[in-house]
Amino acid sequence: MEKQNLKTIPDIDLAPDCLAGKVILVTGASAGIGRAVALEMARHGAQLILHGRKVDKLEVLYDEIEALGAPRPSICPLDMEAAVTEDYDALADSILQEFGRLDGLLHNAGILGDKSPIEHYDPVLWQRVMLVNVNAPFLLTRALLPVLKKSEDARILFTSSGVGRTGRAYWGAYAVSKFATEGLMETLADEHENTANLTVNAINPGATRTAMRAKAYPGEDPQTVKTPESLAPSYVWLFSEAARDFQGISFDPA
């Protein structure tokens, strides 16, 4: 059955300062799509909190954002395979102390796991994929909802995938985790249907030239796949005033 809540982002015309004053946390900002989106958000004035696994990669991005003359970001290293509830609660506390609110949460960090039949899927790897792709977004959302609700106009954006909408052989834990992502988004959006200052949506970036894509399709020429930079304006739009009225939608990029 076709899903009813899919939408393609329209042609967009972003004002240069459309994210000015907005405090936004980007998970998995150290590489790939998250990195490109963080840079584009910074160019549009956002005050960023950069999450990733490794401090050194986040520091390189920090320097690039500072060199743009954008608001100086914060850095938040946390390994989502190892993190526990208290780590997410501590992060929420520190954001509340430093900024008093959070205007945007982009759940972007993710891992592919292995492409293998379910029958042969490594159970340990299955758990790791679920920790990063499902449990971490749940724990982070749970911890941050009170901080997001202090914003006048808060956004949560989950990152989905084509294999999170229609099951596909051999995509194993990754596909199942992205179905869970769609489910978490829809459930949370429905819970906030009448909350004027919080919207919850998802985006499926589609095939994008990153390390994850190269791992999933080792024989593919990366030049045939769109760049993360070309996607970034769609993400910026979803966090801007222009996208305020959407709730519970799973978007495809422009």
Which residues are catalytic, by number?
174
Which amino acid is present at 21? G
Nearer to ligand NAP, 201 or 204 (CB): 204
Can you count the helices (H) and strands (E) in the chain? 8, 8
Q: Is 58 in the site for ligand NAP (CB under 6 A)?
A: no
If binding is defined by CB under 6 A, does position 70 make contact with ligand NAP?
A: no
Binder among 55, 68, 207, 254 for ligand NAP (CB under 6 A): 207
By CB under 6 A, the residues from 135 to 154 that bind ligand NAP are none
Name residues contacting ligand NAP, limited to 215-254 (CB under 6 A).
Answer: none
Instruction: List beta partners, residue 27.
Output: none
By C-beta, is 52 or 151 nearer to ligand NAP? Answer: 52
- Report the chain's terminal Cα–Cα distance, integer Å: 24
Alpha-carbon distance of 197 to 76, in angstroms, equals 25
One residue of 14, 45, 53, 142 binding ligand NAP per CB under 6 A: 53
Determine if 110 is a binding residue for ligand NAP (CB under 6 A): yes
Token digits for 253?
Answer: 């990029």
Give min distance, CB of 194 to ligand NAP, in A.
29
Return the ∠ at Cα 193 (arms to 187 and 197), rounded to 5°.
Answer: 115
Shortest reach from residue 133's CB to ligand NAP, in Å: 7
Residues in the interface with ligand NAP (CB under 6 A) total 29
3-state helix, strand, coil in the chain (%, to 5): 45, 15, 40
Distances (CA, A) of 173 to 132, 143, 176, 181, 214: 11, 25, 5, 12, 18
Residue in 132, 173, 198, 236 binding ligand NAP, rule: CB under 6 A: 132
232 phi/psi in degrees, rounded to 5: -55, -40
What is the binding site for ligand NAP (CB under 6 A)? 28, 30-34, 52-54, 57, 79-81, 108-111, 132, 159, 161, 204-208, 210-213
